[in-house]
Amino acid sequence: MSWTAARNITVGPADVSPISVGDFSIAEGDNTIWVRMKSSPTGGDCAWPWSYGLLTWITEDGRELGTVKVNGVCESEVFKLGNGLTPLFRTGRVEFTPRSYNLAWIKLGHPWQLSFEFKSGVTGGQSLVGGSTLFVPTVPELPEANTQPDFSIEDGFAFLLFNFFLR
Residue type, 41: P
Query: How many angstroms separate the CA atoms of 72 and 40, rounded?
Result: 9
> Which range, of 10-14, 53-57, 102-106, 139-143, averages the lowest pLDDT?
139-143
Spatial contact of 1 and 119, defined as CB atoms under 8 Å apart:
yes
**Span 31-47, average pLDDT:** 80
Q: Which pTM value belongs to this model?
A: 0.70
User: With left for phi above 0 and alpha for psi between -120 and 50, is residue 104 left, alpha or beta?
Assistant: alpha
